[in-house]
């Protein structure tokens, strides 16, 4: 596993989130309620941390599976976990035809990996191994905790900013600056979204690379990503709120592409990910040891 300086990235991104959160508190009532925003932020962070696995699993209506129910999936995850020397996560399958997979959980000891029925139908065993290696590295790099908590905080910031716009922006009796409030109400959702997406997009590249090192087969993941790109285009998920909140955890963007969606996509372009994996395969020498 390579050092992608995830600790430093996480600290910087969370610092930006908290700065934005406290800025919202400072604008309302000339800072009189900043402590409420701080406490609210702590409570939201703790809730997202403790329930990160349950929220995503529930959103996809996934069910736990055993070795007897999914022998191939179970065998692959068991072998890769042993290779990495890490705990084996719980396994789930979501009853949806949209091909995708995701990992969730607050730490490697409390993690889960979920595949949809769609992905299990379109990938062969080698490609599925590449996908599961990617998801396991999300768990072992502790990416899931960071992205889950960031998503929770970003959602709260957006909600509070919208409340400011509708209820606080025109109130001149609260001691605040209406223009500043309106500006924050417009900018806060944008900034929170950019922060959340920056976390997701960076982590996807890292998990691709580390997952390929874990399996020793970058081209297997590249092949899987090609199939997933075509599969999600044929069978996109409906953008329901619960699914939207979990979409940044999935290996492929589950929604229908939009002309203006590239800037706000939770995933890097699939072509860029495949190209990096192919370059990685070209650079590998015979006999190189796995992660």
pLDDT at 60: 92
pLDDT band per the 50, 70, 90 thresholds, residue 90: very high
Domain membership of residue 290 (yes or no) is no
Starting at the edge strand found earlier in the chain, the sheet holding 101-107 runs: 63-64, 90-94, 110-116, 101-107
Domain membership of residue 81 (yes or no) is yes
**Phi–psi pair at 66, nearest 5 degrees:** -105, 175
CB of 212 within 8 A of CB of 290?
Answer: no
Residues 6+ apart with CB under 8 A from 35: 25
pLDDT band per the 50, 70, 90 thresholds, residue 240: confident
pLDDT at 166: 61
Domain membership of residue 239 (yes or no) is yes
Domain membership of residue 37 (yes or no) is yes
Mean pLDDT of 217-232: 96
- For residues 205 and 17, the model is more confident at 205
pLDDT at 259: 34
Mean pLDDT of 206-228: 96
**Selection from 27-36, 233-242, 262-271 with the highest mean pLDDT:** 233-242
From the list 128, 110, 159, 118, the residue with the least C-alpha distance to 223 is 128
Domain membership of residue 120 (yes or no) is yes
Catalytic site residue from 127, 135, 204, 209: 135
- What's the domain count of the chain? 1
Which tokens hold the place of 89? Answer: 């996560």
Question: 174 is in which domain, residue-wise?
Answer: 6-283
135 is catalytic: yes
Domain membership of residue 1 (yes or no) is no
Q: Is the pLDDT score of 1 beyond 60?
A: no
pLDDT band per the 50, 70, 90 thresholds, residue 291: very low
Residue with tokens 């596993």: 1
- Count Cα atoms within 13 angstroms, Cβ side, for 120: 18
Q: Is the pLDDT score of 186 beyond 80?
A: no
pLDDT band per the 50, 70, 90 thresholds, residue 170: very low
**Selection from 85-89, 168-172, 252-256 with the highest mean pLDDT:** 85-89
Mean pLDDT of 148-159: 62
C-alpha distances in Å from residue 100, one per residue of 55, 107, 216: 17, 22, 22
Burial of 221 (0-12, 13-18, 19+ CB in 10 A): buried
Domain membership of residue 291 (yes or no) is no
pLDDT tens sequence across 243-278: 776 787 899 988 876 533 544 566 889 999 999 999
**Selection from 44-58, 126-140, 243-257 with the highest mean pLDDT:** 126-140
Q: Is the pLDDT score of 2 beyond 60?
A: no
Domain membership of residue 289 (yes or no) is no
Mean pLDDT of 201-227: 93
In DSSP terms, 115 is beta-bridged to: 93, 101
């Amino acid at each position: 596993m390579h050092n992608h300086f995830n600790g430093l990235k996480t600290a910087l991104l969370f610092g930006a989130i908290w700065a934005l959160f406290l800025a919202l508190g400072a604008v309302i009532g000339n800072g009189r309620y900043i402590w409420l925003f701080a406490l609210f932020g702590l409570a939201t962070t703790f809730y997202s941390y403790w329930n990160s696995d349950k929220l995503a699993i529930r959103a996809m209506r996934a069910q736990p599976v055993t070795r007897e129910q999914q022998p191939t999936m179970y065998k692959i995850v068991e072998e890769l976990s042993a290779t990495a020397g890490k705990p084996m996560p719980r396994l789930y399958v979501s009853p949806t035809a949209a091909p995708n997979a995701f990992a969730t959980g607050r730490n490697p000891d409390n993690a889960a990996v979920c595949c949809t029925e769609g992905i299990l139908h379109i990938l062969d065993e080698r490609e599925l191994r590449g996908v599961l290696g990617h998801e396991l590295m999300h768990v072992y790099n502790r990416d899931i905790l960071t992205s889950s908590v960031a998503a929770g905080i970003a959602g709260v910031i957006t909600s509070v900013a919208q409340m400011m716009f509708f209820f606080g922006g025109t109130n001149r009796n609260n001691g605040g600056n209406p223009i500043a409030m309106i500006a924050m109400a417009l900018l806060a959702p944008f900034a929170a979204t950019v922060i959340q997406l920056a976390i997701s997009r960076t982590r996807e590249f890292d998990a691709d690379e580390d997952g390929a090192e874990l399996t020793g087969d970058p081209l297997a993941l590249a092949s899987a990503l090609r199939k997933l790109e075509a599969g999600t285009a044929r069978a996109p998920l409906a953008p329901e709120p619960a699914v939207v909140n979990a979409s940044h955890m999935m290996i492929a963007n589950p929604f229908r592409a939009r002309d203006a969606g590239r800037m706000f996509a939770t995933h890097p372009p699939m072509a860029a990910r495949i190209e990096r994996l192919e370059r990685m395969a070209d650079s590998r020498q015979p006999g190189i040891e796995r992660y």
